């Protein structure tokens, strides 16, 4: 984590997040909540004006300037249901970053987007396209980072997330901006 950097958390709230396959019989949603709270606390140290949090399924909702205190409230207001439209929410988060950058409002060290998801997205190619296009708009590798964190053990999701990490430059990305 770096100072003078913005942090965005994108959290999957699709129906499969209600699967109770986590340690202690917890659902993926409950496990994600714990991870989100820990991440929000860590991000606050480097991004004191609060982080941006998105929840997504078939649609998404954005919460701006979120502190760790507000994370539990966000989880209480939402429950898992619907599809996994990662491309749409990722596009919005990236557009938001590039708009702030163009307006001179982005932090000097860029942005880190952390995605917490359990399954593969509805449209794999759209997700790849969104990331590749974003990589072509940045000037340096460190400016933009997308970290993908998987909750659960969906093998096809694991393979897809790994492909995003390892194969996007071969598919046309200017920089390798994805980590799993």
Provide mean pLDDT across the span 156-172.
92
24 lies in a domain? yes
138 lies in a domain? yes
Provide mean pLDDT across the span 120-137.
95
Q: How far apart are CA 94 and CA 151, in angstroms?
A: 23
Domain that holds residue 103: 6-179
Domain containing 18 — which CATH number?
3.40.50.410
The overall average pLDDT reported for the chain is 92
Name the band, by pLDDT with cuts 50, 70 and 90, for residue 1: low
For the chain, what is the domain count? 1
Q: What angle do CA 27, 64, 46 make, to 5 degrees?
A: 85
Provide mean pLDDT across the span 66-86.
93
Please report the sign of the dihedral spanned by the C-alpha atoms of residue 102, residue 106, residue 110, residue 115: negative
1 lies in a domain? no
124 lies in a domain? yes
> Using one digit for the tens of pLDDT, what is the confidence trace for 16-57?
999 999 999 999 999 999 988 998 888 888 888 889 999 999
> Using one digit for the tens of pLDDT, what is the confidence trace for 108-119?
899 999 999 998
44 lies in a domain? yes
Distances (CA, A) of 68 to 22, 74, 117, 168: 23, 10, 19, 33
Distances (CA, A) of 43 to 76, 99, 139, 165: 21, 21, 24, 22
Q: How far apart are CA 87 and CA 127, in angstroms?
A: 5
């Amino acid at each position: 984590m770096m100072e003078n950097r913005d942090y965005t958390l994108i959290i999957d709230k699709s129906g499969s997040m209600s699967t109770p396959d986590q340690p202690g019989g917890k659902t993926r949603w409950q496990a994600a909540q714990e991870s989100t709270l820990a991440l929000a606390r860590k991000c606050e140290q480097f991004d004191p004006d609060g982080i941006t949090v998105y929840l997504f399924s078939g649609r998404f909702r954005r919460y701006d300037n979120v502190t760790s205190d507000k994370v539990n409230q966000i989880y209480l207001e939402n429950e898992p249901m619907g599809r996994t439209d990662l491309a749409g929410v990722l596009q919005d988060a990236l557009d938001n970053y590039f708009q702030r950058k163009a307006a001179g409002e982005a932090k000097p060290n860029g942005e880190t987007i952390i995605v917490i998801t359990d399954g593969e997205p509805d449209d794999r190619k759209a997700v790849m396209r969104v990331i590749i296009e974003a990589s072509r708009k940045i000037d340096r590798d460190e400016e933009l980072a997308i970290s993908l964190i998987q909750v659960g053990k969906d093998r096809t999701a694991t393979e897809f997330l790994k492909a995003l990490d390892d194969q996007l430059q071969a598919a046309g990305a200017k920089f390798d901006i994805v980590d799993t």
